[in-house]
Amino acid sequence: MEKIKIGIIREGKVPADSRVVLTPKQCVALMEQYNQLQIVIQPSNGRCYKNEEYEAEGIPLQEDLNDCRVLLGVKEVPIEQLIDGKTYFFFSHTIKKQAYNQKLIKAVVDKKIRLIDYETLVNDKGHRVIAFGHWAGVVGAHNALWTWAKKYGQYNLKRAKDAFDLKELKAAYKEIDFPKMNIAVTGSGRVSGGVIEILEAAGINKVSEDEIIKEDFDKAVYVQLDCGELYARQSDNGFELAEFYADPTGYKSIIKPYLPKIDLFINAIYWNPIAPAYWTLEEMKADDFNIKVIADITCDIAPEASVPSTLKPTTIADPVFGFDRFTSKEVTAFTDGCIDVMSIDNLPNELPRDASEDFGKMFLTHVLPELVKPETSDMLYKATITRDGDLNEPFEYLRDYLEN
């Protein structure tokens, strides 16, 4: 049987990402399970797992990956680093027609690359099989609590990036009596699950939608708002999840009753660009708009965003910007009267070893068996954005994006 050579690429996007698709021990486990696979790793000084850790497990370092059939990365690959004719796995951020990656999708097609995006890998029920979402939620929630601490100085909390692992983060919460604040968390998927894991570890209790609106709590609490609490049909105020997912244009935001009561807003839900925003810039100017800190884990950038104050993605090095709700402009973070916005777009990279190990488990469980199938994999076909110098049929809707 012909060997399939897989290369783990060095992350080239700036700022650098230290996550990796497979840990050293996972590479070993993969080759032990599938003797037709061979793995090499491109050297990198920026990975959370060092070159020496791979070499210690017998994984060869190889700078030139031209002899690899499949290349695995995490973030978008810079155009000048793409190798013609290969199968690539990475987060391309193109399936929503993101303008900032239009040149990337054009280059991938021109280079006849088979591009498989982790976001598009789904099972028979349409559920994603691999994601960093849980860890985005974990780090995003921690950063939300850290941003509050920086804003008000009521307690001390180190950044996630400065902790060795999740265990160390959770241990720090036991020393803190979190002050009175009402927290809203959007969503019910992997990301919000990570958020809630952190809030529960911090001893912050969940309350109902009615309670958060009607009651006055003397401690930190959170409410979970899913699609049915955020949106209603324009015609009759009803809600049907399947209908909303299929076409949210007939729906309106119903978040307004919560806005006077929420102090800290954590956005952890997928948003369709054709759905309404949660609120408008004008509504943010109202006297009863109470939100003081926004942790936008979803991180869609305004004007096409569920949170219109998310003007830009922030970075791990510079995680927060201030937003003046009266001018709708960016201001210096933590200044009087501003809303502080945390919108890091690579949150799991603050706990990269934990996140990488979890991601690798999902890759080994759900994706590798499809890659080595002797026949065509239906899952991989449906996840393939480009192939043979053109869009793959499931992604024909990107045609105007590609050719514009």
- Reply yes or no on whether the pLDDT at 1 is more than 70: no
Residue 371 corresponds to which tokens in the numbers above?
């890659």
Encode pLDDT of 152-168 as tens digits: 999 999 999 999 889 99
Q: Average pLDDT of 371-391?
A: 94
Reduced to 3 states (helix: H, G, I; strand: E, B; else coil), residue 330 is strand
Residue 160 corresponds to which tokens in the numbers above?
């996630």
Q: 308 — phi, psi (to 5°)?
A: -70, -10
- Amino acid 404: pLDDT: 83
Q: Which helix (H) or strand (E) holds 231?
A: strand 231-233
The answer to whether 301 and 273 have CB atoms below 8 angstroms apart is no
- Amino acid 7: pLDDT: 98
Determine how β-strand 231-233 pairs with β-strand 205-206: unpaired
Residue 267 corresponds to which tokens in the numbers above?
């956005």
Contacts for 196 with CB less than 8 Å, ≥ 6 apart: 137, 141, 185, 206, 222, 224
Contacts for 184 with CB less than 8 Å, ≥ 6 apart: 212, 222, 223, 225, 258, 262, 264, 265, 266
DSSP conformation class of 363: I
The answer to whether 389 and 112 have CB atoms below 8 angstroms apart is yes
Measured CA to CA, the distance from residue 375 to residue 233 in angstroms comes to: 44
DSSP conformation class of 183: E
Task: Determine the length of the chain.
Answer: 404
Encode pLDDT of 124-139 as tens digits: 988 899 999 999 999 9
- Reply yes or no on whether the pLDDT at 34 is more than 70: yes
Q: Average pLDDT of 240-251?
A: 96
The strands making up 390-391's β-sheet, listed across from edge to edge, are 37-41, 4-8, 70-72, 87-89, 114-116, 384-387, 390-391
- Reply yes or no on whether the pLDDT at 271 is more than 70: yes
Reduced to 3 states (helix: H, G, I; strand: E, B; else coil), residue 225 is strand
- Reply yes or no on whether the pLDDT at 51 is more than 80: yes
Q: Average pLDDT of 186-203?
A: 97
Which structural domains are found in the chain, ordered by start?
A: 4-130+353-403 (3.40.50.720), 133-350 (3.40.50.720)
Structure-derived torsion over alpha carbons of residues 334, 152, 141, 163, reported in degrees to the nearest 10: 90
Q: 240 — phi, psi (to 5°)?
A: -130, 120
**Phi-psi map region of 5: left, alpha, beta (phi>0 left; psi -120 to 50 alpha):** beta
Of 89-93, 96-100, 177-181, 390-394, the range with the lowest mean pLDDT is 96-100
Q: 122 or 164: which carries more pLDDT confidence? A: 122
Encode pLDDT of 297-331 as tens digits: 999 999 989 999 999 999 999 999 999 999 999 99
3: confidence class by pLDDT, cuts 50, 70, 90: confident
Q: Average pLDDT of 70-79?
A: 97
Residue 341 corresponds to which tokens in the numbers above?
């916005």
Measured CA to CA, the distance from residue 268 to residue 186 in angstroms comes to: 5
